Amino acid sequence: MSRQPQTGPAVTHVPVVNLANAVTVMRLLLVPVFLLALFAADGHDAKTRIAAFVIFAVAIITDRLDGALARNYGLVTDFGTLADPIADKALIGAALIGLSMLGDLWWWVTVLVLVREIGITVLRFAVLHRGVIPASRGGKLKTLVQAIGIGLLILPLTGPWLVTAWAVMAAAVVLTVVTGVDYVRSAIADLRAGVDPANREP
């Protein structure tokens, strides 16, 4: 998902309490609210599923918003650098696990996506102290398709619309694997060459 810019150490004079970080914290707080809506009425009531979708959509929008605020107004902080990807993974992880618990998504899909997302996040933090953040080509497309696929599965769809939801989710899984492999390969190659992957074209 879109992340607060991570091109090097955060500017130390930026206060931790700022608008970008507030948006990130709000996304974290929306995760339990989303889960409550998703599991309300045994998780299969149309109205509560729509409510869960709305909450999920709002949280996704905040993911775009905090990064834009941090980038455009110089609000990058160490806290934001750490909290933003955690909030992203918490939201996506909660949605995937919730859908699997309700029987609306195969567990192997959830495990595959989470292993990739958590693994890449660990890799990012592993090289953060060097000011080197690998950039995955197609990562933005993966994030978009992933969000759309999950969002569609949250909605109480049937018939052709449900088939469409599964098709989008299948595309998301493929992109998740492909971009994950490319991410790791590019990071290793760039680190060995002494190149800053953050300067790589997405």
In sign, the C-alpha dihedral spanning 200, 193, 136, 2 is: negative
The answer to the question of residue 8 being in a domain is: no
The answer to the question of residue 50 being in a domain is: yes
Structural domain boundaries, residue 66: 19-199
pLDDT tens-digit readout, 38-92: 999 999 999 999 999 999 999 999 988 988 888 888 888 888 888 888 899 999 9
The CATH number of residue 115's host domain is 1.20.120.1760
User: Exposure of 161 by Cβ count < 10 A (0-12 exposed, 13-18 middle, 19+ buried)?
Assistant: exposed
CA distance 102 to 83: 28
- Which ranges in the chain belong to alpha helices (H)? 19-39, 46-73, 78-101, 107-128, 139-154, 159-193
Amino acid at 6: Q
CA distance 116 to 122: 10
The answer to the question of residue 5 being in a domain is: no
pLDDT tens-digit readout, 82-137: 888 889 999 999 999 999 999 999 999 999 999 998 888 887 777 766 665 555 56
Counted domains in the chain: 1
Global confidence as pTM:
0.83
Cβ neighbours of residue 85 closer than 8 Å, sequence gap 6 or more: 3, 121, 124
The answer to the question of residue 12 being in a domain is: no
The answer to the question of residue 82 being in a domain is: yes
